[in-house]
């Protein structure tokens, strides 16, 4: 096949995208699939309109004009002699060093390829499909450390735009975790409270080590879910991750936690953690 990548027509095995591309690292990309029958594009205006809506929704600028886009579709069909099949188009935010926060000057990565598919003579149209039902878990399996990080990345950008450092996610009134770290509080009675493990959060390696160290240091630990209000009313709060170690959190939605300064116990746990690891 001849595929399209950033202004070039290439044999499919010569089209290369950076491993730092945010489509690859953060699933920070959108796509469209348009059917082709007899070389004709089906529902093309609808697909382009949705493409523009998707790009706008996540703040990626359209890398080509509408005329160029249509031209690219016609050309890829022609170059591949596609009679029946699909045109796949993907636009990612572009490549830069891995960071949940992205730069605004990135060059989007635009790629396209075709697939031959016998769309009309589909035998399933005669027999029909058997289906199963499943809970809609898109994406409710946060215990799996996938690269499906677009929402987390956009949330962290929102935090930055609102003058904050990070986000804590809330579900059914209870905190799950931070955008890329686990979240914990220390109550006024000195109990370290952290959400119990489930599909609602990533099972942090740092969290696990910190909990063991806290127990060794005679701290009381409770594993249960808690609300934003309870966290705002706590004595201390902190996050844990491989990148942040043990990092104090001093306010939530503008409300100070404790005296609004990093907590003493938090800082002690940070020291103990670093010392234990080195």
Residue from 27, 82, 157, 181 in contact with ligand PDD (CB under 6 A): 181
Residue from 48, 180, 265, 266 in contact with ligand PDD (CB under 6 A): 180
Question: Please, what is the minimum distance in Å from the beta carbon of residue 169 to ligand PDD?
Answer: 9
Q: Rounded to an integer, what distance in angstroms lies between the CA atom of residue 21 and that of residue 26?
A: 8
Of the residues 16, 79, 124, 145, only one is catalytic, namely: 145
- Nearest one of 56, 49, 98 to 70, comparing CA atoms: 49
Question: Please, what is the minimum distance in Å from the beta carbon of residue 98 to ligand PDD?
Answer: 8
Straight-line distance from the first to the last Cα atom of the chain, in angstroms, rounded to the nearest whole number: 52
- Nearest one of 194, 241, 239 to 215, comparing CA atoms: 194
Q: Total residues contacting ligand PDD (rule CB under 6 A)?
A: 13
Question: Does 92 engage in binding with ligand PDD (CB under 6 A)?
Answer: no
Span 109-148, contacts to ligand PDD by CB under 6 A:
none
Question: Does 204 engage in binding with ligand PDD (CB under 6 A)?
Answer: yes
- Nearest one of 33, 24, 28 to 101, comparing CA atoms: 28
Active site residue 188: no
Only one of the segments 26-34, 105-113, 156-164, 236-244 lies at the binding site for ligand PDD (rule: CB under 6 A); that segment is 236-244
Q: Where are the alpha helices (DSSP H) in the chain?
A: 22-26, 44-58, 66-79, 124-127, 150-161, 205-216, 228-232, 264-277
Residue from 117, 140, 217, 242 in contact with ligand PDD (CB under 6 A): 242
Task: Give the catalytic positions in this structure.
Answer: 145
- List interacting residues with ligand PDD (CB under 6 A): 177, 180-182, 202, 204-207, 240-243
């Amino acid at each position: 096949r001849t595929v399209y990548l950033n202004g070039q027509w290439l044999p499919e095995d010569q089209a290369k995208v950076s491993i730092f591309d945010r489509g690859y690292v953060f699933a920070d990309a959108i796509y469209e699939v348009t059917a082709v029958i007899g070389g004709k594009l089906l529902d093309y205006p609808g697909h382009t309109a949705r493409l523009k809506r998707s790009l706008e929704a996540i703040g990626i600028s359209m890398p080509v004009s509408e005329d160029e886009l249509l031209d690219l579709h016609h050309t890829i069909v022609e170059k591949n002699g596609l009679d029946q099949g699909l045109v796949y188009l993907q636009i990612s935010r572009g490549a830069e060093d891995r960071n949940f926060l992205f730069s605004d000057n990135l060059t989007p990565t635009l790629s396209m390829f075709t697939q031959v598919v016998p769309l009309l003579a589909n035998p399933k149209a005669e027999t029909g499909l058997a289906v199963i039902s499943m809970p809609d878990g898109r994406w409710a399996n946060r215990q799996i450390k996938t690269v499906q990080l677009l929402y987390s990345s956009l949330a962290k950008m929102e935090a930055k735009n609102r003058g904050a450092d990070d986000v804590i996610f809330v579900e059914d009134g209870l905190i799950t975790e931070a955008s890329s770290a686990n979240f914990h509080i220390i109550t006024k009675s000195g109990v370290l409270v952290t959400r119990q493990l489930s599909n609602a959060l990533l099972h942090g390696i740092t969290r696990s080590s910190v909990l063991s160290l806290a127990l060794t240091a005679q701290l009381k630990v409770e594993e249960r879910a808690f609300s934003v209000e309870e966290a705002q009313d706590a004595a201390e709060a902190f996050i844990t991750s491989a990148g942040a170690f043990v990092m104090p959190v001093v306010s939530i939605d503008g409300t100070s936690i404790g005296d609004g300064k990093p907590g003493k116990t938090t800082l002690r746990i940070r020291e103990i953690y670093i010392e234990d690891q080195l």
